[in-house]
Amino acid sequence: MSSEFALYGYFRSSAAFRARIALNLKGIKPELRFIHLLRDGGEQHTPEYKAVNPQELIPTLVHDGHTITQSLAIIEYLNEIVPEPPLLPKDAYGRAHAREIAYVVACDIHPVNNLRVGRYMKKLYNTSDDDTARWHRHWIRIGFDALEAVLSSSPETGKFCVRDAPTIADICLIPQIANARRVKLEIETWPTIARIEAHALTHPAFDAALPKNQPDAE
Amino acid sequence: MSSEFALYGYFRSSAAFRARIALNLKGIKPELRFIHLLRDGGEQHTPEYKAVNPQELIPTLVHDGHTITQSLAIIEYLNEIVPEPPLLPKDAYGRAHAREIAYVVACDIHPVNNLRVGRYMKKLYNTSDDDTARWHRHWIRIGFDALEAVLSSSPETGKFCVRDAPTIADICLIPQIANARRVKLEIETWPTIARIEAHALTHPAFDAALPKNQPDAE
């Protein structure tokens, strides 16, 4: 499958990174449309892109006449229309466990550290880049401490977050780890997370989705 | 179904409110376990509750020997083990659309306004309660403006967010509207959202889940 899909993204966005991993795992090569989040105040704010995605966020997937926003909705959609390989375990509890890990990242870590949140704090409280990095580290630490507690003790943990195949949990976790490194956190603080990352990056779907491997990488 | 489920929650938590709506829609009456988020610095931080949920957040669902955290994982799990009535449309695009609306609330509005975020800002920048309310209004406005643009223009919008039956989208939206009112936003600013709320509250599953109708309401 190829040109019937289009993905709006940006190399450094961890939400777009998630969508890239899911597309790679499903063997889909979408047409790539680049939205530079910093250039000219952010290309996500142009009227053209706002017509595609009223939230002015990336990623957005276009498929079969439909426009789908929100990386997690894109991942679940891809998993429903292309069932193999599955991005969720087969059993209800396994699925719940994979999703809860995904949501720790996607609901409780990532949004609080989103670019627009840092920008609004700067506007309100004149925060510096160091303040923003401290803010990021705080929320990543809290989230990763909880995830490490879960992953290091759960009998469900395998080579990946849930057993031995990649799921939506790894699709969310690996991009968040890249963000953690950008604010100088030592991933080895969380040994189970570090081990899962090392394993995931041996998988071509994860490697090919890395920011540095994108056509728009700087 | 009844005592085989237990829910840890708090009347005012909008994430717990979501779980209550989903349980009500499925006709499940769980054993209720109350975690007061403010008393004694927050009962979610006790060692006993941290052993249940290492994130120290609510809600948590206990079922069949499993502990499931994250409201969205709970909703998807309930929908898988009790298929009727469905909390997602049957077709892949309808499901994606319901989920994207849910995630606008659950990823991009709610976490940025979480209690712990306001507390950390207060610690760092000595913010006042008015500052916190302004912060909440800012993120709700941005999110609701985008949602109103989607809901007012999508052919999928019906009596509920997606067609004429409640889905995960409404389960996330209605509690967020309650939060918006708490910071004095006029919901009528977003007429489609206001119309959907008015309709949803005629449904007993939504009404019974309201904070004021909980045993621990203050």
- Could you tell me the residue range of the domain that residue B41 belongs to? 5-85
Q: Which of B92, B93, B103 sits opposite A72 (nearest CB)?
A: B103
Q: Is residue A30 part of a domain?
A: yes
Q: Are residues A97 and A79 in the same domain?
A: no
Q: Are residues B185 and B127 in the same domain?
A: yes
CB-CB contact of A196 with A161 (8 Å): yes
Q: Are residues A56 and A115 in the same domain?
A: no
Judge whether residue B2 has pLDDT over 70: no
Cβ neighbors of B91 (< 8 A, separation 6 or more) are none
Give yes or no for A112 touching B (CB within 8 A): yes
Q: How confident is the model at residue B16 (pLDDT cuts 50, 70, 90)?
A: very high
pLDDT of residue A3: 61
The rounded distance, in Å, linking the Cα atoms of B76 and A156 is 19
The rounded distance, in Å, linking the Cα atoms of B55 and B70 is 9
When divided into structural domains, chain B yields a total of 2
Q: Tokens for B112? A: 């940025």
Residue B66: closest C-alpha in chain A? A93
Residue A94: closest C-alpha in chain B? B77
Q: Is residue B218 part of a domain?
A: no
pLDDT of residue B205: 98
The rounded distance, in Å, linking the Cα atoms of B136 and B118 is 9
Q: Tokens for B167? A: 């889905």
Q: Are residues A199 and A97 in the same domain?
A: yes
Give yes or no for A126 touching B (CB within 8 A): no
The rounded distance, in Å, linking the Cα atoms of B171 and A78 is 23
Q: pLDDT under 70 in chain A at which residues? A: 1-3
- At B54-103, the pLDDT tens digits run 999 999 999 999 999 999 999 999 999 999 999 999 999 999 999 999 99
Q: How confident is the model at residue B3 (pLDDT cuts 50, 70, 90)?
A: low
Give yes or no for A76 touching B (CB within 8 A): yes
Q: In what order do the strands lie in the sheet with A60-63?
A: A31-34, A5-9, A60-63, A66-69
Give yes or no for A140 touching B (CB within 8 A): no
Give the mean model confidence (pLDDT) for residues B190-196.
Answer: 98
- At A48-87, the pLDDT tens digits run 999 999 999 999 999 999 999 999 999 999 999 999 999 9
What is the residue whose two structure tokens read 């290309």?
Answer: A43
| Cβ-defined contact of B77 to A55 (cutoff 8 Å) | no
CATH code of the domain covering residue B111: 1.20.1050.10
Q: Tokens for B120? A: 């950390």
